Structure 1
């Protein structure tokens, strides 16, 4: 028996998911509170594993599924090849795998706009950080380890301790420890 599955995504923890897919009868909903810049989202992964042949995946809008054109096209292709229908409510588009060339063009245009928006957000963010640094208002992220902790870690590692163990003791990742030791 086919099911109506919902996928909802917001970028931050404090954003409201209520307006997405409101009033649509769904059998199961997967909700991510994460950026759409990557496909590496826990609930998206779970949703993709859950949907089956004959199901319909409901998504509020194309940019909720992906902010990258290649990811969007790959997701749609993967789902429709498994006989999963994908419906985007805001745009009024439904993809079944037997889509018209015009519908495919619409998907590519809207996906390109979402990717462009993401690039513009990143550019404005970089410009804002550069301006704040110039004005002395941006100091960057606080160091994960104090100079004393880094020195203690260096002593332990030079004495033969494993980096992974020292990192665990300090409550940081190995990469954070390596980066701190390089400074």
Structure 2
């Protein structure tokens, strides 16, 4: 069975899927097997795409007008197609940069393999740049990573407050601006320091 997926970025009706619809119908997709989302490709909440992918079965083929209609970035596309392939579902792109992709054919699988290799290369480059950036920051005396939400002053306040009968943990977390999990990683319910709290105070 052929299944078609369409997407436009704006949900206000200013963009139309007519061109995509006509192309998919001409490619043999029946109107009842068309799915349509009005959302940015960067959004994860695309209910029609989720329904489309969930309803497909071994031997089906998913058709899209252009590759960018399906995924928000190269890695997302690769992961999506790998999932389809594992389920025995093909992907065919009708036009645009990915028009040579048809995972139901040997040549199409080869083209997609090149896309997958590019995605892996992109991941490696990002990782390499991140490591180099952190090394450069350390050389300048800066530490990478997110700043602590819990500070030494907050730990001391938590130590003084925890274990007091009148202390409400929820109110204390709100005052400190941390979650319960963060609080309990630093201070026990009785106000004693835990490992993260000792580390934080020891670093000051």
Q: Which residue does 1:5 correspond to in 2?
A: 6
CA distance in 1, matches of 2:105, 2:163: 64
Q: Which residue does 2:37 correspond to in 1?
A: 28
Q: How many residues align?
A: 157
Q: Which residue does 1:177 correspond to in 2?
A: 183
Aligned with 2:150: secondary structure?
coil
Does structure 2 conserve the Cα–Cα contact (< 8 Å) formed by 1:4 and 1:55?
yes
* Aligned equivalent of 1:67, options 51, 64, 75: 75
CA distance in 2, matches of 1:164, 1:112: 48
Q: What do you get for the CA RMSD once the two structures are aligned?
A: 4.2
CA deviations 1:37-94 (Å, max 9, x no partner) are xxxx6335x354232568744532887455279724433337874x8x5537322145
**Is there any run of 5+ residues in structure 1 with no aligned partner, and where?**
9-21, 34-40
Does structure 2 conserve the Cα–Cα contact (< 8 Å) formed by 1:133 and 1:139?
yes
Does structure 1 conserve the Cα–Cα contact (< 8 Å) formed by 2:37 and 2:48?
no
Q: Which residue does 2:135 correspond to in 1?
A: 130
Superposed counterparts of 1:27-176, under 5 Å: 27-33=36-42, 42-43=44-45, 46-51=47-52, 56-57=63-64, 58-60=66-68, 64-67=72-75, 71-77=79-85, 81=89, 87=93, 89-95=96-102, 99-136=104-141, 140-159=145-164, 166-176=172-182
Q: Following TM superposition, by how much is the alpha carbon of 1:122 offset from its aligned partner in structure 2, in angstroms?
A: 1.6
Does structure 2 conserve the Cα–Cα contact (< 8 Å) formed by 1:4 and 1:56?
yes
Change (3 A) 1:136 1:61: farther
CA distance in 1, matches of 2:38, 2:139: 45
TM-score w.r.t. structure 1 length? Answer: 0.58
